[in-house]
Amino acid sequence: MVCAWLSMGFTSAISISRKPIMGEVIKFPNAKERVGKKYRQEEIANLNELLRLCDEDMKTVLEQIEQLQGELQNLTAEYEVMLARLKELLEVESND
């Protein structure tokens, strides 16, 4: 089996000098190591689609932030009006 792995070019897949210890992870090649044209084109298409989706999500979040800023401004204005009214009432109350 070691010979099969070595003949396929997976020299980093297992350690020849020692046996794996219990719980040790043996690293195998992943899909990103494939560099054929087909895989590059698929990855380019996938990345373009993911970037498009991220762009849409960022636009949505920015719109939500703008809406929240507007609501915060309205709440702040209402708060200031109520605070001013409370001060007036407390002044009248303290003068009585």
Answering whether pTM is above 0.75, one says no
AA identity, residue 53: L
pLDDT band (50, 70, 90) for residue 38: confident
Report CA dihedral (87, 89, 95, 96) to the nearest 10 degrees.
-160
CA–CA gap between residue 73 and residue 65 (Å, rounded): 12
Residue 20 has pLDDT above 70, yes or no: no
Q: What is the pLDDT of residues 63-89, one digit of tens each?
A: 999 999 999 999 999 999 999 999 999
What's the pLDDT at 15? Answer: 46
Report CA dihedral (75, 76, 81, 84) to the nearest 10 degrees.
140
Weakest-pLDDT range from 24-28, 71-75, 90-94: 24-28
What's the pLDDT at 58? Answer: 97
Better-scored residue on pLDDT, 79 or 14:
79
